[in-house]
Structure 1
Amino acid sequence: MNVQHQNLWTGRVRSAPRSASTHWVLTCAPVTMVTSCDRTSAPVCVTIPDREPIKLCGGLSPGLMETNSSTVKLDYHTDDKGQSRGWSLDYRTQRVQCPVPGRVANGRVTPVLTEYFYRDYLHVRCDQGYKLMMEGEEIQSFFTMCVSSGRWHLSLPECHIIDCGEPEPLLNGAVTVLSGFQNQYRSVVQYHCNQPFYSPLGGVNVTFRCDADRQWRSTHDVISSPTCLPVCGQPTKLISGYQRIIGGSNAPHKTIPWQVMLSVGSGRGGGMVIADRWILTAAHVLVANGATVPPEDVRIYMGHNDVKTLKDTPVNASSLYIHPGYKNPDLLNYNNDIALMKLDQPITFDSSVMPLCLPAEGATYDTGVMGLVSGFGITINRGREVLTNRLKYVQLPVVDQETCSSSLSSIRRTRSDVPNLTENMFCAGVPEGSKDSCQGDSGSAFTLRENGRFYAAGIVSWGIECGKRGTYGVYTRVSNYLPWINNTIQNN
């Protein structure tokens, strides 16, 4: 309160808080508003901000005067005789009060009080899984203050449920919503793979939940991200009977989906799909005159059993990897006859193209066990050797290593062009001949089946003639090269 006076004889002012949150309620004397006052009743001028000054004089109180202001100015004037009897004033203050705020759905308003006054603060926090929103925009925090007008300086925000956005798409799979709406908090989705060509990592379809941090979290303790792994060695159709390649029957479509036909220069070879970007074949198919052929000279075909149809959809290799131990300048040393080709684009597997499994560590090659060999190589047609236009297959037994070595020794007595048999090779065939792989089949797979899955036990490598009595086909023993295969794939 500001009191200004001249010759102030008497007056009474009770102290008041200096807080700007107060307003004044005054009781004054005199009471009569006049334009002039006698000597016994000097005028008092009351000035309230933003109002016209009020002049008071007389002997009676004017009653309550509510100022709604934190400051009031009083001017009291007397004449030079000092005959005025003065004035008295009583006042009281009242804090500005704001309305009790309403509720915020899915949120909390704090502090919770019965009354809110000037300069009180309110904070709003959303429940877990909800976000603060004002005028369509998300805000990180919110508070509002009770101002002198008796209002909150900001209206309360809203709490909207969060969403985690679209779940990541799954390569070779899809996602299904199990519960929730529009990917909102606590929504649950499940990833599943395109079976039977892909299976989920860990063998289970993984579910993910939208968490409060706006991330999709796996409900599985071990699997943190969904992954679809190719299913290997399980064609959607099986061959019911087995014939021979030379003069044998055509392979039904989709029964040998890992089969690859290679065209290298003017020659033909085979291979097998073992991963979405990797083909396994024989090293000698990709080596000419002691050097690896350029990748662009290799044309790769897969997905069909008919050569004419195959050639409509070639696949390109980006790089070739010959086993470093393969040295065969005179075509008499087929040791380490194994190679890998990396494709420039990954394959999406279906019933026409599926990978072949690799053998387990320590896989055995028991004598007499029957394996399946396939290829687009030479076959017999009306007594003539011709390149087939259809994929052929034959079932052959694994031959005892000593028996195979003895047969080669017998042939070596009359021929000098017989390669050596090593522990990195095995033989397959029948002593009476007529069943064998042949030229053009090189690089194709000799497969064994275990627990319902076919795996690459061998690679067609070399032989003495084709289907001749007393001779056997020789195959690269794939199980001996698992470290090299895995390291090459992982490092490239």
Structure 2
Amino acid sequence: LLLCLVELFIKYCKIISYCLCLWLSGPKVCRRGVCGRGECVLTSTAPFYECKCKYPFQPPDCKRYSVCEPNPCRNGGQCVQEGNDFDCQCPEGFSGRFCHVGPNDCYVDDGESYRGNVSETDDGFDCLYWNSHFILENAADPFNSFENDDGLGPHNFCRNPDGEPRPWCFFRRGLRLFWDYCDVNKCPKPTVQPPPTTTEFETCGVAQPKKTLTRIFGGLKVSPGAIPWQVSLQQKPKNSNMKYSHVCGGVLIKSCWVLTAGHCIEQNKDMQVVMGTLSLDIHDPSTQVIQVENAIVHENYRETSEAVYNDIALLRLRGTNGVCANETQFVKTACLPSGQISDGTECTISGWGATEDSNYGSNHLLEANVLLISQTKCSEPTIYGNVLNNGMFCAGYLQGGVDSCQGDSGGPLTCKQNNTSVVYGVVSWGDQCGKKNKPGVYSRVSNFLDWINSKTRGPA
């Protein structure tokens, strides 16, 4: 085990930035308090860190303060002292706390090309420096994902390196890392976005993601197009005027067929699926919303106090001439598996389920990597005992932490097989979320291939 950990550490250090490796392997230069009332950022030269002071605290250690001396206001701004605080009176056309945002500071399209000076979120939080140790410490490494031409560097200006609707940045509240969109204006000249193209589904299991960035703990925020087979199953009381609400995940396997969990299906409900979007609370032009025509739960579906058996279902979507979902960069099918996948394989789970930050789910699609756990191990008395059968398997980490959760049910566990993503599991059940020795339990799709094929036989 120790040898494996050493090999993993060496591999990890080869693929991430020098600063992060230094932080992992050497003494922690950014110890608490070393930068007083400031932010500790990592550098590649001795002493391997630098303090970025929160004004009016002053360099080098951000432990003493001086208001308006020297003048922090830029572009001719006047510093007005208010006790131990200050305010910058900016000349016309300039804005920001330090008058550092010019009159032409704006972004076009989604802001991927933005190289301006805004460094505050919509709610007024100061952006962290991209090389802040606090970002790296919380499992996000911007420099591992992007080159310099994406605008990231040793600064705290807002950027959009991963296809968000507009520029954003990290910020912190206490000991927790967050991100949000920035208080930056869109340039007045309108841009016309081309409509999404639609074609027949020619392939399955091949995503075309935009750039990615680790941003959410336990789960990672998904980039556009990275999991194009993920759908949100939504329900409302039958024939009511109430709004649809997300209840489960699902995975698109054909234009008119979605695979999900049997326990997600409720009688006397209207159902629809939403696909092609990452955020359930934001309108996205790439979204496709399709009504569910029929739900088919496995005939041997059964719930007990200990487990859920044959927990699988199919949703027949409503379409025209055998076409329901249209293939785009953001909507694709996942392949069905061709056989068993080895224990220990790293696979991906995704969903809008509960997180450590929200008991009611995330509005943004999250993903996480989990390991397939052997049936023998998962059937040990301290884990799940003898309740498992061949239609189920476990995946996750026995030490806990990363897991599927409420709201993820029915969503996909996908693994790479012949360089394509296959839906090897469907989120089924578990003992709480992320609990030690209680990994998530998934319906083993390979055991239900005959059933799936018999129900979906046809071109759609």
Could you tell me which residue of structure 2 aligns to residue 74 of structure 1? none
What aligned pairs does 1:333-344 form with structure 2 within 5 A after superposition? 333-344=307-318
Residue type of the partner of 2:265? Answer: L
Q: 2:257 and 2:215 mapped to 1: Cα distance?
A: 29
What aligned pairs does 1:252-291 form with structure 2 within 5 A after superposition? 252-265=223-236, 268-287=247-266
Q: Which has the larger radius of gyration?
A: 1
Could you tell me which residue of structure 1 aligns to residue 278 of structure 2? 305
With normalisation by structure 2, the TM-score equals 0.50
Give CA-to-partner distance per residue, 1:270-302, whole Å, 9 cap, x none: 000000000000000004xxxxx24x5213111
- Is contact 1:238-1:255 (8 Å) kept? yes
Could you tell me which residue of structure 2 aligns to residue 322 of structure 1? 297
- Is contact 1:375-1:440 (8 Å) kept? yes
- The answer on 1:400 being equivalent to 2:400 is no
Q: 2:215 and 2:300 mapped to 1: Cα distance?
A: 35
Could you tell me which residue of structure 2 aligns to residue 430 of structure 1? 397
- The answer on 1:370 being equivalent to 2:346 is yes
Cα 1:242–1:478, aligned 2, differ >3 Å: closer, same or farther?
farther
What aligned pairs does 1:48-447 form with structure 2 within 5 A after superposition? 229-237=201-209, 247-265=218-236, 268-287=247-266, 293-294=267-268, 297-309=270-282, 314-328=289-303, 330=304, 332-345=306-319, 346-360=324-338, 363-381=339-357, 385-406=359-380, 409-410=381-382, 420-447=387-414
With normalisation by structure 1, the TM-score equals 0.47
Unaligned runs of 5+ in 1: 1-195, 199-227, 288-292, 413-417
Q: Which has the higher helix share?
A: 2
Count the aligned residue pairs: 250
Residue type of the partner of 1:354? Answer: K
Cα 1:241–1:422, aligned 2, differ >3 Å: closer, same or farther?
farther
Q: 1:275 and 1:314 mapped to 2: Cα distance?
A: 15
Q: Alignment RMSD, CA only?
A: 2.7
- Is contact 1:243-1:395 (8 Å) kept? no
SS at match of 1:479: helix
Q: 1:233 and 1:242 mapped to 2: Cα distance?
A: 22
SS at match of 2:387: coil
- Is contact 2:398-2:437 (8 Å) kept? yes
Q: 1:373 and 1:465 mapped to 2: Cα distance?
A: 16
- Is contact 1:424-1:477 (8 Å) kept? yes
- Is contact 1:374-1:441 (8 Å) kept? yes
Unaligned runs of 5+ in 2: 1-196, 237-244
Q: Which has the higher strand share?
A: 1
Could you tell me which residue of structure 2 aligns to residue 474 of structure 1? 441
Q: 2:371 and 2:283 mapped to 1: Cα distance?
A: 30
- Is contact 2:425-2:442 (8 Å) kept? yes
Give CA-to-partner distance per residue, 1:353-377, whole Å, 9 cap, x none: 10001111xx123111000100010
- Is contact 1:236-1:254 (8 Å) kept? yes
Pairwise CA distance, 1:348: 1.1
SS at match of 1:378: coil
Q: 1:410 and 1:285 mapped to 2: Cα distance?
A: 28
Pairwise CA distance, 1:263: 2.0
SS at match of 2:451: helix
SS at match of 1:374: strand
Give % identity.
Answer: 33
Residue type of the partner of 1:393? Answer: E
- Is contact 2:251-2:333 (8 Å) kept? yes
Q: 1:349 and 1:299 mapped to 2: Cα distance?
A: 18
Moved more, 389-398 or 303-312: 303-312
Q: 1:396 and 1:300 mapped to 2: Cα distance?
A: 26
SS at match of 1:385: coil
Pairwise CA distance, 1:309: 3.0
SS at match of 1:352: coil
Give CA-to-partner distance per residue, 1:404-433, whole Å, 9 cap, x none: 111xx3267xxxxx9921111111011211
- Is contact 1:301-1:310 (8 Å) kept? no
